Structure 1
Amino acid sequence: MRKKLRVAAYAVCVRDGQILLARSPAPDGTPEWVLPGGGMEHGEDPYDTVRREVTEETGYRIEVTRLLGVDSSRRVFRRHGMWQVTDNHGVRILYAAEIAGGELRNEANGSTDLAAWQDLDAVSGLTRVRLVDVALKLWRERPAVGRLAEEPRE
């Protein structure tokens, strides 16, 4: 079995009752909303990762205001029947951030195709990744340990 570790950093930007999200295709091609952010490059600090990724995906420059927490997810994927099995472990670092400049725009030739502000009250009705819910709960509750104890681990 192949093992793969991915460390990523994401921003929770909330203002005027809205959250900044990006849209990305799921593995089956269905569009789903995600937090702006993404994978760290080798040797990159997560703080720099989140600022770079938010700018790439939304056009905004951000000021990181707080570390919200860390989320860990583990899934096993099988492709081509049983021949190719990958154990994926994702470690996601979540920051609260404020917009410091730039203009909202969509990413060109990247992993997302749309960036938009979404009403916080409407998030539950969006097709979204689990991390959006985890991040909003961390943003609202601000647990001292940076982890939601009741969340089931994948």
Structure 2
Amino acid sequence: MAAYAICVRDGRILLARSPAWDGTPEWVVPGGGMEHGEDPYDTVRREVEEETGYRVEVTALLGVDSSHRVFREGFGGRSLDHHAVRCVYEARITGGELRPEVDGSTDLAAWHDLDAVPGLTRVRMVDIALRMWRERPATGHLTAQRGARLPEA
């Protein structure tokens, strides 16, 4: 279970950068995993501050995304059955200063023009969260467009 925040200001989105499994830097939506007993609302506020230096006010719950995938460990290795449930919130910056995370899963935080996002090396969760922000689905759940599958994150 995780919680993420879309922070858009003046046509720009706040993203954090994280190394992929192969070490390639990828842009991610600020947020992350819930701690035991933590509410997702508190998780998103904590995670955004940890990863970007900003304090935020949650302004909306945009939706919940669920991803279920089975991975293989190496050639002929055992299967890893992974199910992620992610709350996506809209948030507004209320304080703090932009800075990179210290000793965490990300190494940089930056604002990007919304028009530039398609050209960034990013995780699919960025696209899912942006689509939730744009569409604001009444059910909180995205549907596939014209027969296409929703991207896995």
Structure-2-length-normalised TM-score:
0.93
Superposed displacement of residue 122, structure 1: 0.1
5+ long unaligned stretches in structure 1: 1-6
Q: Distance in 1 between matches of 2:38 and 2:60?
A: 19
If each structure's strand is expressed as a fraction of its own residues, which one has the higher value?
Answer: 1
Alignment partner of 1:44: what SS? Answer: coil
- Answering whether residue 66 of structure 2 is matched by residue 72 of structure 1, we say yes
Alignment partner of 1:51: what SS? Answer: helix
How many residue pairs get aligned? The number is 148
- 1:60 is matched with 54
- 1:142 is matched with 136
Cα RMSD for the two superposed structures:
1.1
Name which of structure 1's ranges 73-82 and 138-147 shifts more when overlaid on structure 2.
73-82
- 1:33 is matched with 27
Which residue identity lines up with residue 75 of structure 2 in the other structure? G
Deviations 1:30-67 (A, max 9, x none): 11000000000110000000000000000000000000
Which one of the candidate residues 39, 45, 48 is aligned to 2:39? Answer: 45
Which one of the candidate residues 78, 84, 106 is aligned to 2:78? Answer: 84
Q: Distance in 2 between matches of 1:149 and 1:141?
A: 11
Superposed displacement of residue 75, structure 1: 1.6
- 1:120 is matched with 114
Deviations 1:71-119 (A, max 9, x none): 1111211114333321111111000000010000000110000000000
